[in-house]
Amino acid sequence: MKYAALFVIFLLPAFAAAVSFDGWANTRMEGDSLSPQTGRLDLGGLLRGGDWTFIIHERLSHGDSTGIVPRILNTYSRTDADLTIKAGPITVNPDVCWTVDLGDKKPEIVLPLQAGVACREGFIRPGLGIDADITDDIHLFSRGLYWKRDLIQEDDTNLGWTETRISGGATWNSPWGVSLTVAGLTHKAESDLINYESVWNRMDVQFGVRPQSLPPNMFVSGAVTYSIYDGSDFFDHDIADRLTSRVRLVQMFFPAVSVNTTFESVIDFDDGITRNACTSLESRVLYRFMKNRDVPSVVELSGKLSRSSIRTERAGIFSRINIYKGLSLLIDAEARITPTSVAGAGPCRKRYIFGPGLEYQLGTIARIWGIVEQERTNLDRNENWWRMRAGLELYPGAFSF
Amino acid sequence: MTRFANTLAAAVAAIILLSACKGPVESTQLVVNPDDCTGCGECVEVCPYNAIEVIDGDAVIDPALCHFCYRCVEQCPEGAIN
């Protein structure tokens, strides 16, 4: 049943005159002293006809499902099948997502209403999107999603957990680089077995700005969104209304150097109290050189600060230095401060990761890479560990039939 | 050079604004930056409350189910959740 959608790949071409097919396969593996063997395999295919596209993506993942030390690993399979049909100004987009948790020990989910713990075994989520271009400047959109989740209690009872999410809205793109979007969303989660029902609604009004007349090599975009919420959080408090502002500036100083900076501010309005919910600043500097080689070299410096009820800080460097033909030297380093849920580790987790690696690119067809990293973290246990990461990406290219 | 000065001034202004946010700061929802989120799904895996789902390539947090355990913040490889 699950792989029935794969057969559609072979059936659809029969109904179309000219069809092209793109396929890709990515795999990555990791191993360290905490979890010696984790990894992920992604297989995908894109069929494209005259007015339609069909994408299928299969992921098999074996990785951390807890975020704590020692780790608890989970294996899951996720299949996404997405069909898009365009008929004049109307676009119809049905899709289905199917996830199955395959591990011996399924991830535990803490249930609301103090109903205990259940094991997650997967879900199926069909969806339908309908978009319409009324004029060149006015765009209507809508989307409906339905989840049927398998949450199993200790006595093998299925909670019958379902969720429904319906959204829709309209966007007006003015000729002056300003856009206005009005959208609404309603989300409902329920489980008859534990008498749980939660409904929350959101209304968004967004102004977007993308100035058209800027100095050369400069790109600026900004958006201000006011979201009105109706519903309660898990404390049974009203969800606060929220004003989100985001500005992004991309500047190329020389042909080889570009800077990408994002500033974000989030303000909550909660029963007459105005709170600064989150402020963050992020910047990336990209330096490209040796562009005439088979693989251009690049050095990327990045940094991010955020302050909300928690504080996160991140700084990193990534570089790819081409050595000979498709062979490149990789260097990856990162320093992060985040809150942690690990017992006894204190409120913050400081992580420092450094590792060299090698990469070989065979044109655009294949890429193989490997990195050996050392991580130092301030958790009570496993303060230092080595990790090996490797991956293979294949993209054989498109062909028509 | 003028562009460099303008960009530098904007960055300095943003840093001043960021550092000016003193005092108690509270959030009623976590914030996902869609520019940073790659939709890898690691946050979905570590959320013990089933409060996160990847929709249209971005992580989306359900404000009615999130308990602020911050596991997703700790786990996100891109640092996209604040």
- CB nearest to B82's CB, from A248, A270, A306: A306
d(CA A248, CA A265): 12
Q: Chain A residues with CB inside 8 Å of B32's CB?
A: none
A64–B10 CB contact, under 8 Å: no
| Predicted local confidence at residue A176, as pLDDT | 86
Confidence of residue B20 (pLDDT cuts 50, 70, 90): very low
Query: How much is the mean pLDDT over chain B?
Result: 78
Q: Chain B residues with CB inside 8 Å of A277's CB?
A: 25-29, 31
B18–A107 CB contact, under 8 Å: no
CA distance A323 to chain B (A): 28
Q: Cα A24 from chain centroid?
A: 19
Q: In this structure, what DSSP letter does residue A59 have?
A: E
d(CA A45, CA A24): 6
B65–A234 CB contact, under 8 Å: yes
Q: Chain A residues with CB inside 8 Å of B27's CB?
A: 266, 268, 275, 277-278, 308-310
Average pLDDT by consecutive 10-residue portion of chain A (401 residues)?
51 64 95 83 95 96 80 91 96 96 87 88 96 95 96 91 97 92 96 92 96 87 96 88 94 90 92 86 94 93 91 94 95 92 78 95 94 85 83 91 80
| Predicted local confidence at residue A47, as pLDDT | 96
Express each pLDDT in A281-335 by its tens digit: 999 999 999 988 989 999 999 999 998 888 899 999 999 999 999 999 999 999 9
| Predicted local confidence at residue A68, as pLDDT | 72
| Predicted local confidence at residue A273, as pLDDT | 85
B82–A109 CB contact, under 8 Å: no
Mutate to test the interface with B, among A79, A98, A228, A281 (most CBs of B within 10 A): A281
Give me Rg for the CA atoms of chain B: 16
d(CA A282, CA A279): 10
Query: How much is the mean pLDDT over chain A?
Result: 90
- Among chain B residues, the shortest Cα distance to A269 is held by B28
Express each pLDDT in A364-388 by its tens digit: 999 999 999 998 887 766 678 888 9
Asked if residues A161 and A189 have their Cβ atoms less than 8 Å apart, the reply is yes
Handedness of CA A5, A10, A11, A13 (dihedral sign): positive
Percent of chain A predicted with pLDDT > 90:
65
pTM recorded for the entire structure: 0.86
Express each pLDDT in A62-76 by its tens digit: 988 877 767 788 999
| Predicted local confidence at residue A296, as pLDDT | 93
